[in-house]
Amino acid sequence: MQKGNIGVTTENIFPVIKKFLYSDHEIFLRELVSNAVDATQKLKTLSSIGEYNGELGDLTVHVAVDKEKETITVSDHGIGLTTEEIDKYINQIAFSGANDFLEKYKNDANAIIGHFGLGFYSAFMVAKKVEIVTKSYQEGSHAVKWSCDGSPEFTIEECDKAERGTDIILHIDDDCKEFLEENRLSGLLKKYCSFLPVSIAFGKKKEWKDGKQVETAEDNIINDSNPLWTRKPGDLKDEDYKNFYRELYPMSDEPLFWIHLNVDYPFHLTGVLYFPKVKSNIELNKNKIQLYCNQVYVTDSVEGIVPDFLTLLHGVLDSPDIPLNVSRSYLQSDSNVKKISTYITKKVSDRLQSIFKNDRKQFEEKWNDLKIFINYGMLTQEDFYERARNFALFTDTDGKHYTYEEYNTLIKENQTDKDGNLVYLYAANKDEQYAYIETAKNKGYSVLLMDGPLDIAIVGMLEQKFEKSHFTRVDGDVIDNLIVKEEKKADTLKAGQSEALTAIFKSQIPQMEKAEFHIQPMAMGENSQPITITQSEYMRRMKEMANIQAGMSFYGEMPDMFNLVVNTDHPLVKGILTDEESSCAAKLTPLQAALEENEKQIDVLKKAQEGKKDEEISTDEKDEKEALHKKQDELKTQKEAVYAAYAADNKIVRQLVDLALLQNGMLKGEALNKFVTRSIELIK
Ligand code: ADP
């Protein structure tokens, strides 16, 4: 028996490995099984180039648990290790055997490079003692047993082993007993080893017999050693891609599209990315893409490796050129990773572009599901916008789709305002904004439907990108103000009429929380509705942005501001004005006279004080001024009270207000109930 010290400078390498090297202890299994797979692959390579002429035999790698002995054993029938190799590759841990091998078999070695550095030593994360029992493929080799209890000391001795290959035996530490549970282990095998290129067996297949699960004689193979992404796209059918998707995500709906990636130069990358079908507005699931390195599972966090918007996709990426076990920030600056990310973006946009070009019908049918990805991509990645703007679609309120360019051509003539700005009209809800959409359509305008979760942001972005264009929601103002084609007609109202209408309608708006109304009399033509409620585009957008963006809560707290536009051309409104004039005159005339008189006195006082400094004005004068202003306010309040009293008795005013609110889904509770009762009265 030989004894020795493991060739590292620090005495305490194992506690370091155990605590800091890997955050996740469970990866020991991945490391050991992939070493076994590497050893098997190496043997196959040697055999194929004639350097090994013996029988290959069954190359299945076996993982076994012995609950009594508290061991986990990983066995392979690969190349095995000689005493010298153990010394070189295991004892001198700074040495990585893969380099030697790669140097020797450069052209065949691609698939067999171990990329995990201190892989083998990760066994000490869960084991208090590790044994290697191994016999090299080389003729005349003796089997050897290496044993180490976690201190830098090891023993090595000859032993009996009939077959070529390696058994790694872990004596599991007391605080890691969980790994002796069959379920835990099979879960880990599923996670890390599902697609390893050599068959992996874990126990025996089970079957149901007499109501019980019993073991059969057949090995329980836990992996698919020839997964879809490693196969040629030409050999694969749609069904294969769908089946593989189901294997990866058993709970998901069928994917919309997939993209098979396969590059050899200037980096290696294979994989399949799927566009999943997402139920709109639900929380989007990032981190569904699994990252592999030569079919060994590494992580499901691909942030930093693929552009942010593509983390929404599903599927598998496999590349030995992505540095592992490094920090994310390092990853982002790695030039290979950058190239990979650019390549994937290009592939994704090429694929979308080609579906759009070759099968526009299918593209349009799936647009609703696709647009979340495309919009997110355009918002977050300039180079993707440049590609996607050719196939990104607008949808109008009738469900018709247009490319940005087609839509521009469609509306250019009719929706350019007097200043040469192109106005894009949109609705956020087809039902709630029905009346506004109809009004716009009657003018011959087109209205887009922007009801997706990212649409507000897209509107903002496109306004920056499109020249001399802006977007406005159909209920942002009355239609003639949304697209102003000519200078406004002069107001046809007589003095005081505007004030009267404002006071009358204002008094009849029901109390609403967090909503403020501004009354705006306007001549809109006899055929337009008597009352329209609009909401300023600017304030609404600010509030919407506040909901999705931090630091804008100020806007979120503000009440909603609405305009209640009273159409002074409408016969009903005209009727109210004439009726008000005759029925309020008796009360209003003296108030009006008093107001005018008061106004005069204020003017006189103002003139007298003109040019004087504050200290030159006497206290008496100041008091007088204050009294006059107070009087003025009182008179105004009295006037408003007269209008309000009139309006309260006028069923038409309240009815018109309520109808406009109703049309916007804003009439609720008591106000709605009163409206119904009043309506019944009116038709009786
Ligand atoms: P890496 O796999 O990155 O080289 P490891 O620490 O996992 O690093 O392994 C060190 C070396 O030990 C390997 O390169 C390989 O030569 C040898 N080795 C490990 N496991 C086995 C095995 N099951 N069969 C044969 N050789 C092995």
Helix (H) or strand (E) holding 642: helix 619-649
Tens of pLDDT along 650-677?
989 999 999 999 988 899 999 999 999 9
pLDDT of residue 329: 63
User: If you take atom 2 of ligand 1, which residue's CA is the nearest one?
Assistant: 114
408/346 same-domain check: no
Q: Tell me if 667 is assigned to some domain.
A: yes
3-state secondary structure 365-428: HHHHHHHHHHHHHHHHCHHHHHHHCCCCEEEECCCCEEEHHHHHHHHHCCCECCCCCEEEEEEC
Q: Are residues 527 and 571 in the same domain?
A: yes
Nearest CA to ligand 1 atom 16: 97
Among protein residues, the one with the nearest Cα to ligand 1's atom 13 is: 97
CATH number for the domain that contains residue 419:
3.40.50.11260
In a domain, 654, yes or no: yes
Q: What is the pLDDT of residue 330?
A: 66
Q: How far is the CA of 337 from the centre of ligand 1 (A)?
A: 26
Query: Which of 36-40, 357-361, 479-483 comes out lowest in average pLDDT?
Result: 479-483
Going from the Cα of 120 to the center of ligand 1, the distance in angstroms, rounded, reads 6
72 and 139 inside one domain: yes
User: Helix, strand or coil for residue 596?
Assistant: helix
From ligand 1's centre to the CA of 214, what distance in Å? 36
Can you give the pTM of this predicted structure? Answer: 0.76
Nearest to 43 by CA among 137, 106, 133: 137
State mean pLDDT over 429-435: 92
Q: Structure tokens of 8?
A: 């590292």
Chain centroid to Cα 160, Å, comes to 58
Query: By the 8 A CB rule, do 67 and 180 touch?
Result: yes
Who's near 342: CB < 8 A, 6+ residues apart?
A: 383
Distance 80 CA to ligand 1 centre (A): 10
**Does the pLDDT at position 242 exceed 70?**
yes
Q: From ligand 1's centre to the CA of 158, what distance in Å?
A: 19
> Using CA atoms, how far apart are residues 258 and 261, in angstroms rounded to an integer?
10
- 22 and 116 fall within a common domain: yes
- Does the residue 613 lie in any domain? no
Euclidean distance between CA atoms 557 and 514, whole angstroms? 9
Name the residue type at position 307. Answer: P
In the predicted structure, residue 489 carries a pLDDT above the cut 70: no
Instruction: Quote the ligand 1 centre to 393 CA distance (angstroms).
Output: 53
Task: Establish if 609 belongs to a structural domain.
Answer: no
Tell me the CA end-to-end span of the chain in Å, nearest whole number.
Answer: 111
Ligand 1 geometric centre to CA of 352 (Å)? 43
Q: Which ligand 1 atom is nearest residue 118's CA? A: 6
pLDDT at 322 over 90: no
Q: Respond yes or no on whether the N-terminal peptide bond of residue 266 is cis (omega within 30° of 0).
A: yes
DSSP 569-588: TSHHHHHHHHHHHHHHHHHH
Number of structural domains, the chain? 4
Q: Which among 35, 76, 84 is the best mutation to test ligand 1's pocket, defined by most ligand atoms within 8 Å of the CB?
A: 35
Measured CA to CA in angstroms, residue 545 lies from 246, 460, 533 at distances of: 37, 10, 22
202: which 2 tokens?
A: 């874990």
Q: Is residue 381 part of a domain?
A: no
- Among 92-101, 236-245, 446-455, 522-531, the minimum mean pLDDT is found in 92-101
CA 89–ligand 1 middle distance (angstroms): 7
Pick the residue whose CA is nearest to atom 15 on ligand 1: 97
How do residues 101-144 score in pLDDT, each as one tens digit? 444 444 332 222 333 345 788 888 889 999 999 999 999 999 99
pLDDT for residue 283: 53
Domain that holds residue 146: 2-221
Q: What is the pLDDT of residue 326?
A: 55
Mean pLDDT of 206-223: 91
Q: Which of 30, 38, 52, 99 to mutate to test the pocket of ligand 1 (most atoms within 8 A of CB)?
A: 38
**Is the pLDDT confidence value at 444 over 90?**
yes
Q: What is the DSSP letter of 487?
A: P
Domain final residue pick, 221, 250, 271:
221
Please determine, for residue 387, whether its predicted confidence score (pLDDT) is greater than 60.
Answer: yes
Q: Whose CA is nearest to atom 17 of ligand 1?
A: 89
Q: How far is the CA of 272 from the centre of ligand 1 (A)?
A: 29
Q: Are residues 403 and 315 in the same domain?
A: no
36 CA to centre of ligand 1 in angstroms: 8
CB distance 584 to 647 below 8 Å: no
> 325 with 406, same domain?
no
Q: Are residues 322 and 460 in the same domain?
A: no
Range 443-463 average pLDDT: 93
544 — pLDDT class (breaks 50, 70, 90): confident
* Confidence at 219, pLDDT banded by 50, 70, 90: very high
Q: Which of 152, 115, 132 is nearest to 16 (CA)?
A: 152
Report yes or no on 491 lying in a domain.
Answer: no
Q: Are residues 662 and 551 in the same domain?
A: yes
CATH of the domain at 134: 3.30.565.10
232 and 210 share one domain = no
Within-domain flag for 628: no
* Boundary of a domain, candidates 424, 453, 482: 482
Tokens of 566: 């009273």
567 and 463 in a single domain? The answer is: no
pLDDT at 18: 56
The lowest-confidence range among 21-35, 153-167, 214-228, 301-315 is: 21-35
The mean pLDDT of 600-629, rounded to a whole number, is 85
Best of 43, 89, 170 for a ligand 1 pocket test (most atoms within 8 Å of beta carbon): 89
Question: 270 with 292: CB under 8 angstroms?
Answer: no
Which atom of ligand 1 is found nearest the CA of 36? 23
Q: How confident is the model at residue 495 (pLDDT cuts 50, 70, 90)?
A: confident
Q: Is residue 321 part of a domain?
A: yes
Q: Ligand 1 centroid vs 13 CA: distance in angstroms?
A: 18
407 C-alpha vs ligand 1 centroid, how far in Å?
61
The last residue of one of the domains, among 304, 337, 371, is: 371
Which atom of ligand 1 is the closest one to the Cα of 74?
A: 23
Closest-CA residue, ligand 1 atom 14, reads 97
Query: Tens digits of per-residue pLDDT, 414-429?
Result: 999 999 999 999 999 9
Looking at the CA of residue 42, tell me the nearest atom of ligand 1: 25
Lining ligand 1 with CB less than 6 A are 31, 35-36, 39, 76, 78-81, 89-90, 96-98, 114, 116-120, 166
Which of 120, 166, 170 has most ligand 1 atoms within 8 Å of its beta carbon, as the pocket-test mutant?
A: 120
Same domain, 232 and 214: no
Statement to judge: residues 45 and 185 lie in one domain: yes
CATH label of the domain that carries residue 252? 3.30.230.80
Q: Does residue 581 surpass a pLDDT of 60? A: yes
pLDDT (mean) for 556-560: 79
Q: Which residues pair with 562 in a beta bridge?
A: 517, 535
Task: Give backbone dihedrals phi and psi of 259, rounded to 5 degrees, phi first.
Answer: -135, 120
Compute, in angstroms, the gap from residue 117 CA to the centroid of ligand 1: 9
CA-nearest residue for atom 10, ligand 1, is: 89
The contacts of residue 403 (CB under 8 Å, 6+ apart) are 390, 391, 392, 393, 394
- What share of the chain has pLDDT > 90, as a percent? 59
Alpha-carbon torsion 569, 573, 577, 579, what sign? positive
